[in-house]
Structures are given as structure tokens and as C-alpha cells.
Amino acid sequence: MSRLDSAIRRLQAQRVCLDWAVAEIAARPGPVLELGLGNGRTYDHLRDRLPGWEIFVFERQVAAHPDCIPEDRYLFEGDIRDSLPSALAPLRGRAVMAHCDIGTGDTALTAVLSAFIGPALAPLLAPGAVVVADQALTIPGCRPVPLPDGVNPGRYHLFRLDEA
């Protein structure tokens, strides 16, 4: 498969999984987390699907399209190993959804980030929250959720935090 075909399949899987998650949380109050802003495409997609919702973004260094940069009050900028724990006070146990797009292209670095994010993300999640991720994560209290039709196993990952 060409790299172009692989990228298209990844983006299609990402959209299907995000739309599934949005439908799952539509009736639940609470903020949404976006870990990894990148160019801002998925943040923009979430804003479109969840108008008026609080979407908190975590990004090492913002380089997104200018129309896809959140207001400062919704942005945690800096190394995720510092910014994610700093969100505990305002967000602990409140997030109903998180999207984690943390793949770096460097297998070793991505593995280190994935190992950190699972345990660091868990305290921010509300009971029943859903997590959409480009990497397999181990999130305490979460269980894997079957992927929607059309998404190949391993292409994207879904998790749900058990209800309290």
C-alpha cells in the first residue's frame, strides 16, 4: 500500500471513530480533550460536531492553521508530561471524551508517550468517558471498545472508562 493510501485510510478511520465518539457523548455534559493539535484538522472537526462545547487542547508547540487554534483559556501548551498533569485541578474527573493523536513517526518516542498518557489521562476522565486514540493505550479503568464498521483493527483505538 502506498503512503498516500495509508494516510487516507488513517484519516477515514479517524473521522469514523471521532464521529462515533461524538454520538456517544452527545447527551452528556462535560469538556472534551484534544491531545495533539497538529495542523488543527481534528480540533476543527470536533468544533464543527460539538458547537459550543469546551474543547481543551494539549500541544507541545502550536503550529496549526490560524483558524484552528483554540483560545488561550482552552490551550495547554508545552510538553505533555508537564501540561497534562497541570490540567488535573480544573478538569479532574470531568472530561467526557478525549482524542489522543500522539504518533510522532518515531516508534520509540511514541511508545514512551503512550506509556505516559494512559495513566496521566485517566484522572481527567468522567465515568463512562470515551477515548479515541491513534495508539494502543493502557488507561487505568478503561476497557477497549469495538471499532465501528469500516475501521480495521489497529488502525485506530477506542476505549471507555467504566462507570463509577
* CATH number of the structural domain spanning residue 7: 3.40.50.150
**Cα–Cα distance, 93 to 40 (Å, whole number):** 25
Q: Which of 42, 54, 40 is nearest to 15 (CA)?
A: 42
The count of domains in the chain is: 1
Q: Which of 27, 59, 61, 24 is nearest to 42 (CA)?
A: 59
Q: Which residues fall within 8 angstroms of residue 8, CB to CB, at 6 or more apart?
A: none
What integer pLDDT is reported at residue 40 of this predicted model? 95
Question: Whole-model pTM?
Answer: 0.95
Placement of cell 495513566 in the chain: 119
- Segments forming the whole domain that contains residue 64: 3-161
Q: Which helix (H) or strand (E) holds 4?
A: helix 3-25
What sections of 26-106 are H helices per DSSP? 41-49, 80-86, 88-91
Radius of gyration, alpha carbons of the chain:
15
Structural contact between residues 132 and 100, judged by C-beta atoms closer than 8 angstroms: yes
Residue 19 has pLDDT above 90, yes or no: yes
The average pLDDT across 37-47 equals: 95
What integer pLDDT is reported at residue 103 of this predicted model? 86
What integer pLDDT is reported at residue 97 of this predicted model? 98
What integer pLDDT is reported at residue 91 of this predicted model? 96
